[in-house]
Amino acid sequence: MKNSIKIYFLIILIVLGCCFNGIDSYAGSSATQIAGNTASSTDAAIVPSDAPSINAEAGIVMDVDTGDILYEKNAHEQLYPASITKVMTCLLAVENGNVNDELTVSDSVMSQVEDGSSAIGLQSGEKLTLKSALYGMMLNSGNECALTIAEYIGGSTEGFADMMNQRAKELGCLDSHFVNPNGLQNNDHYTSCYDMALIGKAAYQYPEFKKLISSQSYTIPETNMNEERPLWQENRLTYSGNGEYYYEYCTGGKTGYTEAALATLISFAERDGRRLVTVVMRCNPTTESYLDTIKLDDFCFNNYNLYKPLTNFDFRSVNNENLNVLSNYYDDLNHELPKYYVNRNYSFYIRSFVNESDILQTVNFYVEPQNGIAGQIIFSYNGVEIGRTDITINLPPVIASSTDAIIAQNNTPKPESKVLKWAKRIIVILIALILLLIFLIVFIKIRKKIQMYNSKRTIKYFPRSRDPRLKAKEEDNQEKIDKLKDIDKEVIKKKKKDLDTEYQEKRRRKRKKI
């Protein structure tokens, strides 16, 4: 029992520790933030001479984690995207919606669906969850699903289009303008391979998105106006039975086609820990989009290696005059010399034939730091720059004795607001009260069990002779036993007498015969 109580106390202490320690680090469900490079349209301005030729008018291959561009062809040409637009729609839905929310198909939505366009058969007034609508949009490219989602998220098609353009701007897109959530033809609705790669890169960080594009099938449950509907993946790259169009490393994607856009395709592939997003636009015929994607992905997986040059980087090995100059900058301040930091996860792609030892690292320190950046490390191969990353500085607390020191103090992060602090305290108090209540309930139950145990033990060892009820019962039982014994004695005596009589009779008969 004592051990059980100790275990309960230990569990409560662990839970309390998790609550108090985790309060400042808790964050809601969001996309994973990957350390690495920021995508740049100049990372691969020239197509490698040994790269495969593709049918598509434009194409790009970008690393999902680092943003490095491994291949591009007319990557910034503004083209009609067709249904790969729905990747942006899905991204906004995952970021702003709840998959369990119920959506209602409106008359406004159905009036915008063009006859003969891709649809799953929704009707005005039909109710379904956001999850079902997303599967209908991403697997079967249902245009009415995309419009229903847009109305749910943005209030209207126009409102949602504004959200699409704002999100594209936030992602660094340079060539896009969206007017609808499904990609139906509109002269003012356009994007580029580069922008779609950025959008796909952002969406692929969400597990919900990855599950949608990788699913082979999904059944929409029965609704108020339709029976259940099975859906099937339209992306041929993910089906092993599709022969030359199947790609074993493909994890999903989205197809698109209109007469004006021709075939478009955005797809994702993973191999040896590397993750790529590939976009091809304006392919003819449609099947060429699959073959182009396979050729580009194989080329990039086979001909590029991911290089992490700063994994074991040590500033003590750096001999640079500017390092001393920069340190002298802090001589008038009352603190230790500054510490320098680099992003040890910094990485970029190099061609497979490049020997890592031939890559030159040049460390440049500034005379004084600029916005917390103390310098840069530049990487080059055969005299050509192939990457660069910042050296940052973390200033300890200082006693301001110069204008620069005061500026450094003012740039330190501001403390949390009082409202946020009190909100966190209230949450902690509520959690503590709940845990205390649970503890009391557990304590009372344990105490009752201990009392019951002690009671049973007392009864077990209570002297039987002192209990008059037990004694009377024993006497009664003994009397019954004695009566049974008397009866048994009479029976035995009678039986013995019968045996003796029988024996005497046998002897008498025997003598008579003789």
**Alpha carbon 239 to its chain's center:** 25
CA atoms within 13 A on the CB side of 421: 4
- Alpha-carbon distance of 12 to 500, in angstroms, equals 84
Both tokens of residue 59?
Answer: 């194409």
**What is the rounded distance in angstroms from the CA atom of residue 435 to the CA atom of residue 408?**
44
Residues contacting residue 8 through CB under 8 Å, at least 6 positions apart = 439, 442, 443, 446
Cβ 280 vs Cβ 292: under 8 Å: yes
Q: Among the options 41, 73, 86, 289, which is catalytic?
A: 86
Q: Annotated catalytic residue: which of 141, 192, 267, 289? A: 141
Is 86 annotated in the active site?
A: yes
Radius of gyration of the chain (CA): 40
Q: Strands of 310-419 (E only): list them.
A: 339-341, 348-351, 360-370, 373-381, 384-394
Query: How distant is the alpha carbon of residue 42 from its chain centre?
Result: 31
User: DSSP string spanning 287-325?
Assistant: THHHHHHHHHHHHHHHHEEEE-TTTT--GGG---HHHHH
> At a CB cut-off of 8 Å and minimum separation 6, what does 180 contact?
85, 112, 146, 147, 150, 157, 161, 186, 189
308 noted as active-site residue? no
Give residues with Cβ within 8 angstroms of 356, minimum separation 6: 307, 309, 350
First-to-last CA distance in the chain? Answer: 87
Distance separating alpha carbons of residues 394 and 339, to the nearest angstrom: 6
**4 classed as catalytic:** no
Of 83, 118, 192, 289, catalytic: 83
Q: Which of 328, 268, 257 is nearest to 293 (CA)?
A: 268
Residues designated as active site: 83, 86, 141
